[in-house]
Amino acid sequence: MSFSFDLLQTDPRSSARRGRISTRRGAIETPVFMPVGTQATVKAVLPETLLEIGAQVILANTYHLFLRPGHERVQRLGGLHKFMHWPRPILTDSGGFQVFSLGKLRRISEEGVTFQSHLDGSTQVLTPESSIAVQEALGADILMAFDECIPYPAEREYVAASTARSGRWARRCREARTDAGAALFGIVQGGMHRDLRAQSAAGLIDTGFDGYALGGLSVGEEAPLMYEVMEHTLPLLPADRPRYVMGVGTPENLIEGIWRGADMFDCVMPTRNARNGVLFTTFGRISIKQARYADDPLPVDPDCRCYVCRNYSRAYLRHLYQGDEILASMLNTHHNLHFYLQLMAGARQAIEEGSFTDYRADFYRRREPAEALVEEGRNGYC
Strand 17-23 versus strand 58-61 pairing type: unpaired
- State the first-to-last Cα distance of the chain, in angstroms, to the nearest integer: 32
Per DSSP, 18 falls in state E
- Residue range 26-36, pLDDT digits in tens: 999 999 999 99
Q: Say yes or no: domain 4-267 is CATH 3.90.950.20.
A: no
270 and 53 Cβ atoms separated by less than 8 Å: no
Give the model's confidence band at 106: pLDDT under 50 very low, under 70 low, under 90 confident, else very high.
confident
pLDDT for the residue 246: 97
CA distance 238 to 204: 11
CA distance 215 to 97: 9
CB atoms within 10 A of CB 89: 25
- Residue range 144-185, pLDDT digits in tens: 999 999 999 999 999 999 999 999 999 999 999 999 999 999
Contacts (Cβ under 8 Å, ≥6 apart) of 190: 150, 159, 163, 196, 197, 198, 199, 200, 216, 233
- Residues forming the active site: 93, 266
> Average pLDDT in the 95-105 region?
77
Domain ranges of the chain: 4-267, 274-365
CA distance 39 to 55: 17
Contacts (Cβ under 8 Å, ≥6 apart) of 149: 96, 97, 100, 101, 189, 215, 216, 219, 378
Strand 4-10 versus strand 17-23 pairing type: antiparallel
- Residue range 266-298, pLDDT digits in tens: 999 999 999 999 999 999 999 999 999 999 999
